[in-house]
Amino acid sequence: MRKRLFIILILFSSFIFTSYDPPEQCVFIQNTTESAIYVYYTNFDSLPKEPALKLFVKEKGMDMPIQSPEYRINAHSNGLIPLYLLKVESEKSKDKKLKLYFITEKNMKEKKWDEIYKNQLYEKKIFIASEKLKKNTIIAIYK
């Protein structure tokens, strides 16, 4: 009887004492406009040629419809970029700043990436210092 009670107690305590991982720190991006935006983050002072952003993505070998990429933020919506991705990019930068480029859906639909890259057709650019990335979650608002 005691063995059964001991086993039940151990099983019950394993449910109670499970670890909780807090949400990752991230850059929280709020899009308050009437249109979707595409967010490109990099350590370069201008939009780089590679990797190119795409309007939609489709997994190779998967029998799935096309999907919105994770860097697309819908109108009147929010998006997140995990800080672990951004810290690496900011540390590579000469000025230790991460750059966020906001590109409109209209440009993504009407123009090829080469044209967007060559003419730097972004609507807004935000700089985030690497020291700020180390501290806490950051909120960027696109209006």
Q: Give how many domains the chain has, as a whole number.
A: 1
Q: Is 68 part of any domain?
A: yes
Q: How many CA atoms lie within 13 A of 46 on its CB side?
A: 7
Contact 68, 56 (CB under 8 A): yes
The rounded distance, in Å, linking the Cα atoms of 36 and 65 is 19
Is residue 78 in some structural domain?
A: yes
Domain assignment present for residue 109? The answer is yes
Determine, yes or no, domain membership for 118. Answer: yes
Using one digit for the tens of pLDDT, what is the confidence trace for 82-99? 766 666 666 677 787 888
Q: What is the pLDDT of residue 21?
A: 47
Q: Is 93 among the domain residues?
A: yes
Instruction: For the chain, give the mean pLDDT.
Output: 76
HEC string of the chain equals CHHHHHHHHHHHHHHHCCCCCCCCCEEEEEECCCCCEEEEEECCCCCCCCCCCCCCECCCCCCCCCECCCCEECCCEEEEEEHHHHHHHHHHCCCCEEEEEEEEHHHHHHCCHHHHHHHCCCCEEEEEEHHHHHHCCEEEEEC
Which residue in 129, 130, 103, 97 sits closest to 117, CA to CA? 103
Structural domain boundaries enclosing 101:
23-142
Query: Which pTM value belongs to this model?
Result: 0.71
Of 21-30, 78-87, 112-121, the least confident: 21-30
